[in-house]
Amino acid sequence: MSDNAVTSTYVDHSGTLWVSTENGLNKLNRESGTFTHYYQKDGLPSNAVSCILEDQFGMLWMSTNRGLSRFDPVGNRFTNYSTVDGLPGNDFTGWDACYKSAGGEMFFGGFSGGVAFFPDKVISTSYPLPLVLTDFQLAGRSVEVGAKSPLKKSIGYTQDVTLNHDQNIFSLSFAALTYFNPAANRYRYKLEKLDRDWIEVGSDRRVASYTTLPAGKYRFHVQSATRQGLWNEPGLAFGITILPPWWGTFWFRLLCIVATLSILWTLYLIRLKQMAAEIRARIEERLGERERIARELHDTLLQGVQGLILRFQAVAERIPASEPARQMIEKALDRADEVLVQGRDRVKNLRLTAQMKSLREALTDDIKDLAVSKGVEFSVIVEGELRELNPLVRDEAYWIGHEALVNALHHAGAKHIEVEIANDPSQLRLRIRDDGCGIDSKILEAGGKPGHWGMRGMRERAAKIGAHLETWSQPGAGTEVELRIPGSVAYNAQGNGSPWRRLRQLWQEERPHEPDQGSNG
């Protein structure tokens, strides 16, 4: 026995003896002659058990000083009832004050009063409860219904609300529509996408609060149940849409990305332009240098030699005409005059680059001079509209082309040579193809034959003007030399307009070029 203070005894339909005490419930096991004890830890509302009855289903009902309890002897389970279930009070320890009528009605009495019920009716308290939302608060204030308010109708008649990004602190109140023992009702809710599990609350906390939710579509679910009953699936659902701020919208973000990419691209173009400008500056510098050297040569060397020739002439005149030395020196001075004229012409050419022939003319003349004597066929093709080239670029391109032609004719023994000049806005391309014996790949890799400076010279010239030089060749299959000069370097500047126009040019220059069959000059 759990205690000696026995309050009542009861024999159930199977003949089992139940003994209630002031400290625990006991069941006699006839076979072994021992008692099984049940305490508060096993599910009793309290250890002080007062009186026991059995209903028609074999369930034991007992009163305690903390309400009634129903015991399922098969499942060994207690279900407890208190004032929230409708009892007048909790203390039924009048000791052994209970009675079951012939109709099955049970009566329990105690210090808190008496209670009468049909055990089979008690089960029916677990009916589903209808649920409604009772209040919607934004930042702690009930939202009034109105045209400008998120609530167009009373919250009880509203299926969903749409909120701005700054209205993301809100709470929802809800209630089950029952007057029968409302304090015993249970609730649970969750916000889809935010809460993973149901949050269960008692009837005293029928409110769900959320703060600083990110923009998005949410769904609030709430369910209720009586104290013993099942959750009323599926319960109530309420849609909440929080709009993104203008800077959080998809279009704005896309715009940001596009803007960022545009800026990066523009920076890239500006960098390209800068690099081109640097190369141009270098070219200008070299043109200036060349001009300076030419001037120096003209002013000092040529004029100086001129003066010296005159002085030698003066010396020569002192030698009698009959002397052979006089003839000799006169002849030497004649040669000196010729050399001077040649030198002057060279210097003039050095300064004359800007006025020389076009690249096409220069290369055509070149190839004529070189090829005709050898009976070599050639063709010169010009693609695109011929544009005015930067003089130094044209010179370098010409010299590279010249070198390639010399290689083709003198080293490769070509029978046919094709020169192609393509004037793209984005770049100037010069290609020279021949059907000669080709260049050994080892020599190509080494940058030319040792001692033969042609290839290396070509590369150096190309590098100076920021151009790209490529050579394809195979023994027996001919050679192709391709020179590509960026348009920004190759062509004469189109003048400095407004910054906007320059920016536009910047973009236009990078546009892919549509091939056109324009005339060439």
Partner 1 sequence: MNPIKVLTVDDHPILREGIAAIIENHADIVLVGEAANGREAIECFRKLHPDVTLMDLVMPEMNGIDATVAIRKEFPNARIVVLTTYKGDVQAAQALDAGACGYLLKSTLRKDLLDTIRSVHVGRRRIPPEIAIAMAEHHSSDTLSERELEVLEQIAAGNANKNIAEHLSIAEDTVKGHVKAILAKLGANDRTHAVTIALKRGIISLEE
Out of 4, 355, 498, 519, the residue judged to bind partner 1 by CB under 8 A:
355
Distance (Å, rounded) from C-alpha 353 to C-alpha 188?
Answer: 91
Reference 383, options 480, 483, 517, 521; nearest CA is 517
CB 401 within 8 A of CB 454: no
CB 263 within 8 A of CB 255: no
- 275 Cα distance to chain centroid: 30
Distance (Å, rounded) from C-alpha 232 to C-alpha 444?
Answer: 86
CB of 508 to partner 1, least distance (A): 15
Region binding partner 1 by CB under 8 A among candidate stretches 169-177, 202-210, 465-473, 488-496: 488-496
**Could you tell me if residue 15 is left (phi over 0), alpha (psi between -120 and 50 degrees) or otherwise beta?**
left
CB of 300 to partner 1, least distance (A): 8
Distance (Å, rounded) from C-alpha 62 to C-alpha 42?
Answer: 14
Strand 67-72's sheet: what is its strand order? 49-54, 60-64, 67-72, 77-81
Each residue 54-83 as x (binds partner 1 by CB under 8 A) or -, in order, gives ------------------------------
Nearer Cβ to partner 1, position 295 or 374?
295
CB of 337 to partner 1, least distance (A): 6
Distance (Å, rounded) from C-alpha 33 to C-alpha 75?
Answer: 22
Would you count residue 521 as binding partner 1 (CB under 8 A)? yes
Region binding partner 1 by CB under 8 A among candidate stretches 92-100, 170-178, 321-329, 341-349: 341-349
CB 82 within 8 A of CB 45: yes
Out of 121, 205, 335, 348, the residue judged to bind partner 1 by CB under 8 A:
348
Site size for partner 1 (CB under 8 A): 36
Give me the residue label for tokens 């800077």: 247
Nearer Cβ to partner 1, position 306 or 474?
306
Residues between 300 and 319 that touch partner 1 (CB under 8 A):
303-304, 306-311, 313-315, 317-318
CB 110 within 8 A of CB 97: yes
Distance (Å, rounded) from C-alpha 403 to C-alpha 449?
Answer: 14
CB of 253 to partner 1, least distance (A): 43
Would you count residue 357 as binding partner 1 (CB under 8 A)? yes
Distance (Å, rounded) from C-alpha 254 to C-alpha 248?
Answer: 10
423 Cβ partners below 8 Å, 6+ apart? 382, 383, 384, 385, 386, 387, 520
Would you count residue 495 as binding partner 1 (CB under 8 A)? yes
CB of 502 to partner 1, least distance (A): 14
Nearer Cβ to partner 1, position 401 or 448?
401
CB of 495 to partner 1, least distance (A): 5
Out of 272, 277, 356, 386, the residue judged to bind partner 1 by CB under 8 A:
356
Each residue 366-405 as x (binds partner 1 by CB under 8 A) or -, in order, gives ----------------------x-xx--------------
Q: What angle do CA 404, 405, 407 make, to 5 degrees?
A: 65
Would you count residue 342 as binding partner 1 (CB under 8 A)? no
CB of 344 to partner 1, least distance (A): 7
Nearer Cβ to partner 1, position 323 or 470?
323
Would you count residue 290 as binding partner 1 (CB under 8 A)? no
Residues that bind partner 1 (CB under 8 A): 299, 303-304, 306-311, 313-315, 317-318, 333, 337, 340-341, 344, 348, 351-352, 354-358, 361, 388, 390-391, 492-495, 521
